[in-house]
Amino acid sequence: MTQRTHLTLLPIINGLLAFFFSTIVSATPQATLDMVQHTAVEYVKNIIDTPPKGELTIKAANLDSRLKLTPCSAPLKSTIPGKQSLSGNVTVLVSCEPNNWQVYVPVRTRLLLPRVVAAKPLARGVVLSAPDLAVSMVETRFQRGVVFELPQQIIGSKVKRAVNMGEAIQGNDICLVCRNDSVLIKAGGGGLNIVTKGTALSDGSLGEQIRVQNTKSKRVVDGIITGVGEVTVNF
């Protein structure tokens, strides 16, 4: 190979070396950013208890590529500053003590649980039957109050306010016992169980306390709604 050939190849070799070197340098900060995101996600995953039937997804937001974080010489540390709910959006502080840097990482959590939903639009006054209901995975942060996992829990109850198709049916959307309904009053205590008929004096959902009147004695008592058309009194 001639001296001229060497001189021709030298700029090419130098260019290739510069290209590979710049690629390695630019890749290092991105690898560190990826590790920061991964660390934040794993930290949140480890502190959330996922129910047996639940589906949990956790995703860290993309970090600003302009951040120049040096590779950490020790394991990254994570904390959740302040008092934050783990439902929805949470901010995780990821830090590298030896290199003296820290980054706040926004993390999105979604916990889905099986819930009874409206299989079709439900108007006020509808008495629920099996075709009206379905079970779907619903994000927990959109659920308030009493919710239901099984259609059987609310079949026969009456809709108090309209429910859109696909929406989870909540306790305040329905009355398992409605005012003036005939109900079964179950009373128990001391090993004695009594079942009699009565009339509800107000609306109520599962677990709520209402007043009922015994049909025979006309006595008014407080009871807990334990099912559709069913009130339990303890004495």
Residue 4's contacts (CB-CB under 8 Å, 6 or more residues apart) are none
Through-space distance between the first and last CA atoms of the chain, rounded to whole angstroms: 107
- Residue 129's pLDDT band (boundaries 50, 70, 90)? very high
- The pTM assigned to this predicted structure is 0.67
Is residue 2 predicted with pLDDT exceeding 60? no
Comparing CA positions, the residue from 105, 130, 102 lying closest to residue 116 is 130
More confident position, 206 or 231: 231
146-200, pLDDT tens digit by residue?
889 999 999 999 999 999 999 999 988 999 999 999 999 998 766 677 899 999 9
Mean pLDDT for all residues in the chain:
85
Segments making up each domain of the chain, as ranges: 3-111, 112-173, 182-234
- Quick one: CA dihedral 7, 12, 13, 18, positive or negative? positive
Q: How far is CA 71 from CA 4, 46, 68, 76, 221, in A?
A: 43, 24, 10, 10, 70
Find out whether 141 and 104 touch, Cβ atoms under 8 Å: no
The CATH architecture annotation of domain 112-173 reads Alpha-Beta Complex (3.90)
Instruction: Spell out the residues 6+ positions from residue 38 whose beta carbon is closer than 8 angstroms to its own.
Output: 60
Give tens-digit pLDDT for 33-89.
999 999 999 999 999 988 889 999 999 999 988 888 899 999 999 999 988 888 888
Q: Which CATH number fits domain 182-234: 2.30.30.760, 3.10.100.10, 1.10.1510.10, 3.60.20.10?
A: 2.30.30.760
**DSSP states of the chain:** --HHHHHHHHHHHHHHHHHHHHHHHHHHHHHHHHHHHHHHHHHHHHHS---TT-EEEEEEPPPPTT--PPPPSS--EEE--SS--SSEEEEEEEEETTTTEEEEEEEEEEEEEEEEEESS-B-TTPBP-GGGEEEEEEEGGG--S-B-S-GGGTTT-EESS-B-TTPBPBGGGEESB-TT-EEEEEEEETTEEEEEEEEESS-B-TT-EEEEEETTT--EEEEEEEETTEEEEE-
Question: How many CB atoms lie under 10 A from the CB of residue 109?
Answer: 21
